[in-house]
A and B are shown apart, each in its own frame.
Chain A
């Protein structure tokens, strides 16, 4: 099963094929690389501001400031980053439309973008503005955002040849948990992760040969799920054990965790659509 835009909107094929011959695709095409740079810089601004904002909601990072102060200082950069991503994304997309139309990773990127907007504007920004308190509307946005994020991951999983990009999400999730945990929890968590990495390397480099894809693929998939279970288990334990602080409890922390990962997933899908 593929989930490229062409599978959902087959009647748009002719329109998509002509997009780079009309405004704005035609004008952007000669400067594609320059607009790509704009896309990357916007990603950096959105990523940096979003990471700092959500790490604070997780109870780490710039803890000298309240979430409200973080919101006051960072929200404008979140807006600028997202506006830049959308503007340059539409422009480079119009100049490269046929490639995107046939890509399952692009579908994952678009669903991820929607989830990112919901989790950032519906949950992370309001939660930080209210110093870690969520309104009823934000709780609804949290559920909708998480469901959309899960859908984006499912679409990414279905994108053959691009889905190894999900390792970036697992890696980022692992790093966030390593950064957020402390003391013995961190030592146990990192030791377990290191053991799993060693076991995966032995399985994929010693037990099975480099070209034995029939065994390598299921092995890597099994390890991916193992890492996900280990990381999410540690994240849950940390969120629950750290209790309800002055700026939110386990629910807020879970949402902040998701609000960082959703942008990593969206960016990963964007990068991997170039490889497959």
Chain B
């Protein structure tokens, strides 16, 4: 399937999800997306839980990464720290994903055409690949460096990639709230292309004010 067809399929699915799912029989009945986006407190509770989960998720993964960099808990074996701390990290991640998916569901088309959301997904994938490489390759000979104050380069490299990826995920997540690159505004061509503004409700306008 060509790329254009695939992205059109994704967009059609999101339009259906946002406008049809949960919608009553009446013409003006709201969909579940409408209800969630317009809720008095529920959306706020989801959004704030997503942000507050950073304390648990990012806060604890940073500590494990800092240990792998040799910057803290130097006397504690890495395996001990991981075994005790990672369950908390995973719980924080589950909370972040659950609230993140719900937040996406509230405004799917807005996020779909948002460059920061797309970049956030890219850095999430990089972070996930890094975790898999660490788990299946780097960690294989953990007995050799488990108790080292300053673990080998490949371990420190993995920790550095992890910290940077999560910082970039948080940065892009925060920038989603800003309308700097919203479709419909006069944007450079690369921004219109990366966000697929042409297919958005507001369309694509280049910096010369011309519709693309």
Interface residues of A (CB under 8 A from B): 33, 36-37, 40-41, 43-49, 51-52, 61-65, 69, 73-74, 76-77, 164-165, 167-168, 171-172, 263-264, 267-268, 271-272, 275
Interface status of B119 (Cβ within 8 A of chain A): no
Query: How far is A62 from B75 in the complex, measured between Cα atoms in Å?
Result: 13
Which chain B positions have C-beta within 8 A of A268?
48, 52
Cβ contact within 8 Å between A69 and B59: no
The interface residues of chain A, by DSSP majority, are classed as helix
Binds A, one of B3-11, B15-23, B166-174: B166-174
Cβ contact within 8 Å between A43 and B88: no
Cβ contact within 8 Å between B72 and A73: yes
> Given that A45-B59, A61-B88, A62-B81 are contacting pairs, would A40 and B44 also be in contact in the complex, using a CB cutoff of 8 Å?
no
> Given that A64-B80, A73-B76 are contacting pairs, would A48 and B52 also be in contact in the complex, using a CB cutoff of 8 Å?
no
A-B contacts counted at CB < 8 A amount to 107
Cβ contact within 8 Å between B85 and A52: yes
Query: How far is A206 from B204 in the complex, measured between Cα atoms in Å?
Result: 45
Which chain A positions have C-beta within 8 A of B175?
33, 37
Chain B interface residue number, banded: 35 or more
Which chain A positions have C-beta within 8 A of B45?
164, 167-168
Cβ contact within 8 Å between A271 and B47: yes
Interface residues of B (CB under 8 A from A): 41, 44-45, 47-49, 51-52, 54-63, 66, 72-76, 80-81, 84-85, 88, 167, 170-171, 174-175, 177-178
Which chain B positions have C-beta within 8 A of A33?
174-175, 177-178
The interface residues of chain B, by DSSP majority, are classed as helix
- Shortest B208–chain A CB gap in Å is 25
Nearest residue (CB) in B for A276 is B44
Task: Knowing that A61-B85, A64-B80, A168-B52 touch, tell me 20 more A-B residue pairs with CB under 8 angstroms.
Answer: A33-B177, A40-B51, A44-B55, A45-B59, A47-B59, A48-B55, A52-B60, A62-B84, A64-B76, A65-B73, A69-B75, A73-B74, A74-B63, A74-B72, A77-B63, A164-B41, A165-B44, A165-B48, A171-B49, A264-B52
Which chain B positions have C-beta within 8 A of A168?
45, 48-49, 52
Query: How far is A61 from B73 in the complex, measured between Cα atoms in Å?
Result: 14
Query: How far is A168 from B44 in the complex, measured between Cα atoms in Å?
Result: 11
Query: Contacting A37 at CB < 8 Å: which of B56, B73, B76, B171?
Result: B171
Which chain B positions have C-beta within 8 A of A165?
44, 48
Query: How far is A271 from B49 in the complex, measured between Cα atoms in Å?
Result: 9
